[in-house]
């Protein structure tokens, strides 16, 4: 449960943070179990998913995100399985976005799902998958 710091004389900022935390957590859990191809309310991920998302197929909810109304960002592997905490490459899963990717600075620096907070782990997980895929192609890994 989010801590409400609004009761400690911070002018309500803690309440705002609590609502942002709750909104972010809710968006994290809105991914459909299968890719929402062509479904209303969803759009394809734009960008290079190889860097942070293992090259997987990605989708975002189709509205302009804000800290109080973030969008879900969802990725699906080669078998159309949702990449989540139980996936072998869980570090490649999508994250709720509080700022649009077009706002590069805000998305990269301040977004809970952005590069500064989630990017390094996702980058190294994607790198691990690329290396393991190369070993599989050579028959050195099952």
Within-domain flag for 74: yes
Within-domain flag for 132: yes
Strand order in the sheet with 73-76: 42-44, 57-61, 73-76
pLDDT of residue 6: 38
Within-domain flag for 92: yes
Strand, helix or coil for residue 73: strand
What's the pTM value of the predicted model, to 2 decimals? 0.85
**pLDDT 10s digits, 73-108:** 999 999 999 999 999 999 999 999 999 989 999 999
Within-domain flag for 142: no
Domain count, the chain: 1
Q: Domain residues for 102?
A: 5-137
Within-domain flag for 33: yes
Residue 128 Ramachandran class (φ > 0 left, ψ -120 to 50 alpha, else beta): alpha
């Amino acid at each position: 449960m989010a801590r409400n710091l609004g009761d400690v004389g911070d002018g309500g900022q803690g309440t705002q943070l609590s609502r942002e935390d709750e909104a972010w957590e809710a968006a994290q859990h809105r991914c459909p179990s299968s890719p929402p191809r062509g479904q209303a309310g969803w759009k394809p991920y734009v960008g290079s998913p190889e860097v942070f998302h293992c090259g997987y197929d990605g989708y975002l909810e189709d509205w302009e995100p804000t800290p109080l109304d973030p969008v879900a960002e969802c990725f699906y592997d080669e078998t159309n399985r949702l990449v989540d905490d139980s996936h072998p490459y869980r570090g490649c899963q999508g994250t709720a976005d509080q700022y649009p990717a077009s706002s590069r600075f805000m998305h990269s620096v301040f977004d809970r799902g952005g590069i500064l907070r989630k990017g390094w782990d996702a980058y190294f997980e994607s790198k691990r998958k690329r290396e393991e895929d190369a070993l599989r192609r050579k028959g050195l890994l099952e």
